[in-house]
Structure 1
């Protein structure tokens, strides 16, 4: 009876949302950047699955309902972007230049680092698109002959790192311009960084969604060419 309950897809779905909501409340009260709700949720769900001996495939069936809303959620980020459209038009040249540079440096740096550490071609291909949202990253990885499941894990880790330490690093680097902060968070840590930016400031969040969008487009276009030239 208990096994049927804990493996029920609706129970697992409710558990995921419940843990996430609880984690958000904890972070709101403590104001600790280390208590990132996504990080806590991932950790506690893994512990629950291990303790209850629930296969990942069983959990994944329930998580498909969450996956379904991932793409619409990314599209919805265009709303705050639209609200800042007039301001963005005035800065379009520096925005495009910075995003192009950020995309190229992001791809080259991870490819060079992976190869220096002895990573195989498949692993390198899986890491190249680490800074874009999961659907785009997995499509790029498949085109490069990489491992989509590895890409998905790396994308989550990249987003979590950016969400936890991104604003702190920019403070250390004396980066205070809200446009630069937003673009950096969106370009470096995709949807997770954009979500954190939205919670801090709507203006910063709008530019984070722009950074996410532009970096996604540029990564999809440039990654195969850059990886091929570096091979």
Structure 2
């Protein structure tokens, strides 16, 4: 397996895609919320690497090409937002307040938990950008002196949990307004949450797409400020 991954430049990409497709199949077949395709793909890949004795660097040599698609995929989320631009104009005040509240809540939560668990500065700033896209979060973590690899893991876990439990939480609190649903998922669980928002409807997907971009910008500023607290 090690030789296979080393010899093929796209072996990591192939394995990742196949496991993701397997995750999609299992989710459609069993229809359980916790069977998130991304989560399953991560777990399957980890098991494969552990059983085969392949180190992460060897796997990532081929899998890194997937990350090149991250930025253009995020930009493409502007399309559903453009289609709902009039709705955004009519409700811009609520949208702004909702996104700002989401970002502030995320930063305050990390700050409070850091105090409770006695995290040092480096550990604290590592978790601050947990609710933004990987591309933005990595930059924030590196700039503030955090552990970038752990930041990526925190971002993925946050997104997966938001994707799995987001709809359930919205139902528990009887949140039925599409705009509110979209903003909540986008500002709390970035692109992975937006995938769930798009499953709920076009308006939810559009508002969630907007939340990703605005939340990213606000988190860059907010994390820089909160980073000085510990």
Structure-2-length-normalised TM-score: 0.95
Q: Is the 8 A contact 2:132 2:216 kept in 1?
A: yes
Provide, for residues 61-81 of structure 1, a one-character-per-residue CA deviation record: whole Å limited to 9, x for no partner. 112110001011000100001
In the TM superposition, residue 136 of structure 1 has moved relative to its aligned partner by: 0.5
- CA distance in structure 1 between the partners assigned to 2:218 and 2:47 by the alignment: 37
Q: Verify the 8 A CA contact 1:9 1:59 in the aligned structure 2.
A: no
1:4 Cα offset (Å)? 2.2
Counterpart in 1 of 2:163?
163
1:37-85 CA distance string (max 9 Å, x none): 0000000000000111111001111121100010110001000011000
**Mapped partners of 1:12, 1:63: distance in 2:** 4
Residue 146 of structure 2: SS of its match in structure 1?
coil
Deviation at 1:29, TM superposition (A): 2.3
Whether the 8 Å contact between 2:11 and 2:63 is mirrored in structure 1 is no
Structure 1 counterpart of 2:63? 63
Q: Report the counterpart of residue 4 of structure 1 in structure 2.
A: 3
Q: Deviations over 1:132-166 (max 9, x none)?
A: 00110111111211111111110011001101101
Tell me the CA shift for residue 173 of structure 1: 0.8
Secondary structure of the residue that 1:69 maps to in structure 2? helix
Q: Residue 120 in 1 paired to residue 120 in 2? A: yes
TM-superposed deviation, 1:3: 4.2
Question: TM-score, normalised on structure 1?
Answer: 0.95
Unmatched runs of 5 consecutive residues or more in structure 2? none
Contact 1:115 1:124 in 2 (8 A): no
Counterparts of 2:177 and 2:161, CA distance in 1? 21
- How many residue pairs were aligned? 229
- Structure-2 separation of matches of 1:21 and 1:77: 22
**Distance apart, 1:9 and its partner CA:** 3.5
Matches within 5 A, 1:1-231: 3-7=2-6, 8-228=8-228, 230-231=229-230
Query: CA shift at 1:98, angstroms?
Result: 1.5
Distance 1:47 1:9, change over 3 A: farther
Q: Which runs of 5+ in 1 are unaligned?
A: none
Comparing 211-220 with 184-193, which one deviates more in the overlay?
211-220
The alpha carbon displacement at 1:6 in A equals 4.4
CA distance in 2, matches of 1:226, 1:62: 36
Distance 1:221 1:110, change over 3 A: same
Of 41-50 and 205-214, more deviation after overlay is shown by: 205-214
Q: Which runs of 4+ in 1 moved over 4 A?
A: none
